[in-house]
Amino acid sequence: MTQTVFITGASSGIGRSTAQLFQERGWNVAATMRNPDQAGDWLKGDRALALRLDVTDAHSIRAATEQAIAHFGAVDVLVNNAGYGAVGPFEASTPEQVERQIATNVTGFMNVTRAFLPHFRERRKDVIVSVSSVGGRITFPLYSVYHATKWAVEGFSEALVYELEPFGIRVKIIEPGPIKTDFYERSQDVMTKPGLTAYDGFVARAKPTLLKAGAEAPGPEIVARTIYRAATDGCHRLRYPANSASVLMLRRLLPTDVFMGVVKRLFIK
């Protein structure tokens, strides 16, 4: 029987690469995005369905969930991928930027997960794969608000394991390091405040290294392959690094102050 994956944020980057990979492997794919017109010619055929879903819109979550289940009969894997990054000194942030970051990366992610739990519980199986970040385990300069949301994804997902294992539902977290996508351009919300210049020197030192990491990184295909492995390996492993294993190992081995010193030397020269 053909299995079905439901993916949020599938219009580009990691989400699109993941949808394409599952499609190549013979899966039914419900690819969701805020504007399904962005799907393009790659998402065609009886086994592909483009759906409108904005994770900050509860009605669109409910509608997309119901449409996918009705169209394919069931959903076997949920991939929570939609997200974006607010970047810059925290003092420069606005309440609206912080709220949008939390609404997208935390509240929306939780709401999509909640929408599928009755279906997954009834089937007493299925997999929830959530794209977190290496930034859900460690921190870098200028990403304080983004880190707050990814640490929330990690904590929420880890706690959810206890609740869902009795129903045969497996919870997986994907932890990408730097990946060459539009995250460093279109998907970032740069936080600035008119008249606030105290951080200009700090930003000027840290930003080039952060941008270079993204420019020299592997493409989203490496994350898509990791997501596919997590969805299909049949085990209860929780965390899966993607271009991040070495830095996560270093974080585990070094005391916090020593590790932070390494980050400072790399990003705040």
Residues noted as catalytic: 132, 146, 150
Give the position of tokens 């949920």.
78
Give the position of tokens 């869902």.
164
User: Cα-atom radius of gyration of the chain, to the nearest Å?
Assistant: 19
CA 59 to chain CA mean position, Å: 21
**Rounded CA separation 144/83 (Å):** 15
Distances, alpha carbon 52 to alpha carbons 3, 9, 136, in Å:
21, 10, 27
Whole-angstrom distance between the N-terminal and C-terminal Cα of the chain?
A: 55
CB contact set of 238 (below 8 Å; sequence gap of 6+): 157, 158, 161, 171, 172, 173
Q: Name the H helices within 132-255.
A: 144-164, 200-215, 221-232, 245-253
Count CB atoms within 10 A of the CB of residue 1.
Answer: 6
Count CB atoms within 10 A of the CB of residue 77.
Answer: 24
